[in-house]
Structure 1
Amino acid sequence: MSTVQSEVLLEARIAQKAGVEVDHIRDVFTEYGLPLVISPARPRSLHVHRLRVAGERTGDVQPGPFDTPLSFGPGLTALVASNFRGKTSVLELLTWCLRGTPRNEMQNRVRGWLHHVDLDATVAGEPMGFRIDLTDGEITSAVVLTGSDIASLAGVRAPDPGRGITALLRASSTDSYAEQIAGLMLRRMDLQPLVNSFKETSTQTHGWPAYFGAVYLPAGGDKALLGEVTSNGLPGRLLQVFLDLPAAAALTRVKTVHDVRAAEDKARRTAAAAEAAERASERERLEADLARAHEQLARLLPGDGEDASLVDLAKNAVQLARALADAQDEWDEASRVFRRARTERQQAAKLLNDVTESATARRLFHGLNPANCPRCDKDIDDARRNQEQHAGTCAVCAREVSGDDEEPQEITAEAQNRLETSATVEAAAKENLERAEADVDRLTQQLEAAQGQLRRAQSAADLPARLAAQENVLRLEGALSVFREPETPATDAAEAKTINILAAAADLLEQDSKAAADALFREVNKEIADLATSFGVPSLQSVSIDRGARLRIYPLGSKQEWFKDQTAGARLRLRIAVVIALLRVGRRYGVSTHPGLLLIDSPKSEEMQSADARKLFTELATVAAESDLQVVITTADFELAVATLPADTIRQAEAGASLW
């Protein structure tokens, strides 16, 4: 199928699934720079040929200048030297040249020895010469050359147009070299950046260094099956790219854009819903505050008929208080008059009784009746008065009272008349006292009522509170009158259409990728199991890998296990088996897959017995030769390398000496 036919078919399928016009599909894909053409990738093979390392070593081991060339043939090349004698450094230098950045394992001390690093390699069929100059471990100048063939680049460190050698890039710093190499290798290897959504709000982009993790295999202890990063689904994306599954890169980008747009739309609607809830809560709060304000104002307002002038109420209360004071004075005077009249009436009654019963009393009737002695002012007590009554002696001088008892009836009548007069006076005084008491009671009640009305009326202390309550009511009523009700977020038709298109595209690309994977993965699984068995993974019945690069292990006579649960040695052998399986199946189906270069550092150190290491080295050399795979492997076991590998594949240093 031609490119045009592929594009037309894909856009038509997406349009049909999304229920929109084809033009809308093109607009969305153009807006985000997404590919509508799903074409097979170009070959992306990567092979290294020569490495030159020059500089000056410091320290105890072989100090002094060095200028060492190393060559790498097809198939397997073994770097053999004692521990800490430069084997791993060769892999790190290959990585720095090809990836653009060294790994953390590249020691600063070793970097400080380097002056020049030259690498000749073939990248996707194009000869390239990587030339790096360093000072104190940092790049000061770098150039990547290209020529007619790999032989023309040997020994050349600068462009030579006369010989057809030109520069692909130039850099003057470590950072500049890293940035430019990343772009160059993605273009030459026909790879797209791996993009994924980050927390559904933004995107993360992984470039060429992420791909290179499938070239320089991680140590056996790492959990990732492919690459160095286990997060964000990167192992699965590397697997899909290296199997050249249809639309693998496009699917990743479409899903990422869809996830971000959908998350933004969801966030917008969530924010609108939160705002609506907040507005509703705000209205409820305002209404509750207004109800409380009305209650407060009602408590401060006077009752019915009590909204009189504060001055009038105070004046009335003062007048009533004065009237009550006057009435109290009148009551006091009436009380004194009444008590005096009562006393006189009582005395008149006693006198009447005395004159009725005693002649002495009749003879003394018109005399004085002092309460005390007129000379010494001593009180005349009741004993003297009783003696006067019964013994006939004067209560004042104690002398006998003698004389005729003349006209007793007249004296009795006069005493009777005096009693009646005093009784009349007492009755009048009592009536006057009762009238005064009634006036006091009436004025007291009136004053209490006036004082209560005055207390309930607006006093100087109540007025600010009342005004404040009225202002609060008016403010809250005003706030509610202009309250902006929450609006239901309007549906963004264009946004909804875009998300729908992206979702439909992701779904279709997912289906295409899955359909292609089903057939490929059956063969990949068989290849992995066969290779892993030949590499010494024990008791292996079968394996199953999915598009997420999750590898299930089915041991003989045991339940399923996962790749991450295997020993470090088994993980390394399975990882090698996966890469070679990708290459074999890719060649079988004519698809561009893994670059075909593997860097493996000291596999025997990964919990691997000598017999297993021998098996791995032997089988790996055989498989590499058969699969167009280039492997650069290191070991400190001289005997292992000599016993398992052809002599021309071994780059060996003397025991204890440096490899370069």
Structure 2
Amino acid sequence: MTTNQATAAQWLDAIAAKASVPVATVQSVLDRHGIEPQATLPRRRRVTVRSVTLKGEKMGTDQDGPFDRTWKFGTGLWAVLSDRNSRGKSSLLNVIQSSIRGEFPGRIKPDVWRWLSHVEAEFDVDAVAYRIIVEKPSGDDALETVRGTFSRRSGGDDWLDLYQGPAGQHLALAVEDALMTELAFTKFHAFNESGQSTTHSWPAISSALFVSGPGNAIFGEIRVDAMPLRLLQLFMGLPWISTYSAASTALKRVQANQRERRGKPDKATPRLRERLDAVERALNGARRRYRPAVDRARLRLDLVTRDAELVTLRNAVDEVRGQAGALEQQLTGARTILADTRRALQQLRDDRAAGVVFRQLKPVCCPSCETGIDSTKYQAAEAAEVCAVCGTRHTEADPEEAIRLVDLEADVEDAAASVARLETEVATTTRAMRAAEAKLADALKAIHGIEAEMASEGEAELELEIRGLEAQAEQLHGLIAETEGQTASDAAPDDEKILIATVAVTKSLYDGLAREILSEASQEITRLSRLFGVENVESMEWGTGGALSIVQGGTPTSFTKLNLGERLRVRIAAALAIIAVSRKRQFGRHPGLLVLDSPAAQEMTGVDFAALLASVQQAIDQTDDIQIIVGAVARPELRDVVLGGHQYHAEGDSFLF
């Protein structure tokens, strides 16, 4: 079988041969664990943001009042600029991120979210247009008042509503279902050694399309469960990857269960005996118990009513748990951004402080020959604006450094506000979850009370209860006898063997192609990183395990050991490298969208940042299917790089909206 020609039937035959079992047995095990073949090379699909409209009313600012603004975008490099910070750049980019993910308010700042009354975004997946509309009263930030509509264009100006209702988890799921289907993405399943199973879907995948800092991973915001590697494999468009992921997860789960059984072979019987003792005590109590008859009709009606309430309460608990999990993930990303930005700010402050200290030194003698320096020489040097020791003429401090300091301080403030907002939301949602769980527990307790009351009615009911308890006791006696004679090796003898074979066979089907693609991607990311200004890079090589091995200045290093500015450049280069290789091979899954928020804050001068964007423009000039949207403080050298029609600029003290 060649790497990209194996059929599902050949795959099954290979697994059966490797595991030495019939094909029917292999199919049965794979069906039980939900493992399906995915052998087709994917066709690359594009996501393009077309427009964003914001309406509402500003409150508590120097420019209060209504606003209604629309921004139109297309393919290529676009810039959202302002002459000052806090003019709405990040807010606009955060609205784009919320729209693509269907999560509101997402990372939109609390004050901006309060202003908004209408958010509308249109984006294309290839030739299919989608639109998301979120509406709420301006000045109100209560989530229960927010309504969302998610639609697909059905022809002309007509839109087919795919979802209409509260703008919460259900809206996010509607967007996730549509885009996962359109982009032919599958969910990632992971199972760790502690026995926890996790599913990663559109939020984790789409995070790789938004870069707000250097990050700790080349792709996305999540490092657990090998997500950077999984995203790399996904964007490369390898066949059999989702099949391998599902088989690997199932194997880990089965092996963990086997280890648990081998490690605790003698604990089942004590638990069963404890249960048997409890049943026998209940049986003896039932035989002695007698109560007057109760109103069974009333109890049954009450039980039906409470059962209906229980379904509603369970749904409420599931919904708030999902909200809590999503907020925790956002909070983790926000804390990472805040920590990275604070480190960059502190480093810049330290550099400036060191320069001030050295300039204030006034040695009393020459450090080389110990010849004394007369104090009058300092006075003469100051008058001539030269150094008294070496005679070098003083130069003015770099104005770019002061601008970068102001930018970083504003970024830290924004990041801290986002963390504070998310921590408040997490705490609120956690309290709501605990309250919902408490209501559910109370409902279950009430139902159990009704059932107990019905089961203890009169002699006829007592007889039924006694028979039921006697049946339980007999069943427990049988389970104890069976467990005591059972060995750990009796459980699912074929599953582990077949899953091991499945993992090995599936990996062999894509491993060769993966090495070929990674070799091309390694050459491309090395070329682009040099073009983007990563200094002294001799080589970069992606391994099949997802690690990026780097040789810089003759020394081996890794992505996380690069400085902040270099990591940002490499993240941009990685996305463009995967897109370039996908275009060359005519398959792949990177959607071709990249949104960069204030990248110049990461150890880059205005000149360096302009040079980076010029290199990005050069990298995408040869194609019409990439869209990069950048938010930044406007500078002349930057405005010269981006086409005039691709700029939105808030000049002076004005705001973007």
Q: Which interval holds the TM-score relative to the shorter structure?
A: 0.5 to 0.7
Q: CA deviation at 1:646?
A: 1.5
Return the alpha-carbon distance in structure 1 between the equivalents of residues 482 and 44 of structure 2.
Answer: 62
Corresponding residue number in structure 1 for 2:354: none
Q: Residue deviations 1:414-449, cap 9 Å, x none?
A: xxxxxxxxxxxxxxxxxxxxxxxxxxxxxxxxxxxx
Larger radius of gyration: 1
Residue of structure 2 aligned with 1:199, choices 193, 199, 208? 193
Partner of 1:38: 39
1:525 aligns with 2:522: yes
- 1:625 is aligned to 2:621: yes
Q: Is the 8 A contact 1:74 1:625 kept in 2?
A: no
For the pair 1:646 / 2:643, whether they are aligned, the reply is yes
Q: Distance in 2 between matches of 1:232 and 1:550?
A: 14
Match of 1:611 among 590, 599, 607: 607
Residue of structure 1 in register with 2:226 after alignment: 233
Measured after TM superposition, the shift of residue 228 of structure 1 is 0.4
Q: 1:642: Cα distance to partner?
A: 1.5
* 1:171 Cα offset (Å): 2.7
Change (3 A) 1:216 1:172: same
C-alpha distance in structure 1 between counterparts of 2:126 and 2:492, whole Å? 41
Write the deviation string for residues 105-162 of structure 1: whole angstroms up to 9, x where unpaired: 421111111111111110243111111112423362211222256xx45xxxxxxxxx
- Partner of residue 100, structure 1: 102
Displacement of 1:614: 1.6
- How many Å apart are 1:265 and its aligned residue? 1.4
Q: Distance in 2 between matches of 1:20 and 1:486?
A: 28
* Equivalent-residue separation in structure 2 for 1:580 and 1:133 (angstroms): 35
Cα distance change on mapping 1:70 and 1:7 into 2, 3 Å: same
* CA 1:520–1:484: 2 relative to 1, 3 Å: closer
State whether structure 2 residue 2 is matched by structure 1 residue 7: no
1:142 aligned onto 2:138? no
What is residue 305 of structure 1 aligned with on the other side? Answer: none
Matched with 1:352 is none
Under a length normalisation based on structure 2, what TM-score does the superposition of the two structures give? 0.64
The structure 1 residue matched to 2:216, chosen from 204, 220, 223, is 223
Correspondence for 1:130: 132
Q: Label 1:516 to 1:52 Cα distance change in 2 as closer, same or farther (>3 A).
A: same
Alignment of 1:83-482 (within 5 A): 83-102=85-104, 105-135=107-137, 136-137=140-141, 138=143, 140-148=146-154, 152-153=156-157, 163=158, 165-220=159-214, 222-272=215-265
SS of match in other structure, 2:209 = coil
One-letter amino acid of the counterpart of residue 67, structure 1: D
- 1:144 maps to amino acid: F
Task: Return the alpha-carbon distance in structure 2 between the equivalents of residues 276 and 632 of structure 1.
Answer: 63
Query: Structure 1 77/174 Cα, relative in aligned 2: closer, same or farther at 3 Å?
Result: same
Residues 569-609 of structure 1: per-residue CA shift (max 9 Å, x gap): 10011001000110010111111221100000111101112
Structure 2 residue 579 is matched with structure 1 residue 573: no
Query: What CA distance in whole angstroms lies between the structure 1 residues aligned with 2:585 and 2:485?
Result: 55
Mapping 1:526-541, distance limit 5 Å? 526-541=523-538
Structure 2, unpaired ranges of 5+: 272-479
Q: Partner of 1:447 in structure 2?
A: none
Relative to structure 1, the CA distance from residue 552 to residue 37 in structure 2 (aligned partners, 3 Å threshold; closer, same or farther) is closer
Report the 3-state secondary structure (helix = DSSP H, G, I; strand = E; otherwise coil) of the residue aligned with 2:55.
Answer: strand
**Helix, strand or coil: the match of 1:495?**
coil
Q: Deviations over 1:444-469 (max 9, x none)?
A: xxxxxxxxxxxxxxxxxxxxxxxxxx
1: CA distance between counterparts of 2:170 and 2:225? 27
For structure 1, which segment, 564-573 or 36-45, has the greater mean C-alpha deviation from structure 2 after superposition? 36-45
Larger relative contact order (CA 8 Å, sep ≥ 6): 2
Write the letter of the residue equivalent to 1:511. S
Distance 2:536 2:505 in 1: 40
Matched residue of 1:245: which SS?
coil
2 CA distance for matches of 1:141 and 1:274? 52
Amino acid at match of 2:240: A
Q: 1:4 Cα shift?
A: 11
**In the alignment, which of 524, 540, 559 is matched to residue 543 of structure 1?**
540
For the residue of structure 1 that corresponds to 2:265, the secondary structure is helix
Which residue of structure 2 lines up, in the alignment, with residue 461 of structure 1? none
Task: Please tell me the residue identity of whatever aligns with 2:251.
Answer: H
Aligned AA (1:503): I
Contact 1:87 1:659 in 2 (8 A): yes
> Contact (CA 8 Å) 2:41, 2:239: kept in 1 or not?
yes
Letter in 1 for 2:22: E
Quote the offset at 1:276 in angstroms: 11
What is the aligned-residue identity percentage?
Answer: 25
Within 2, Cα distance between the matches of 1:129 and 1:275? 55
Listed one character per residue, the Cα deviations across residues 371-417 of structure 1 (whole Å, up to 9, x for unaligned) are xxxxxxxxxxxxxxxxxxxxxxxxxxxxxxxxxxxxxxxxxxxxxxx
Count of residue pairs the alignment pairs up: 442
Please give the secondary structure, in 2, of the residue aligned with 1:36: coil
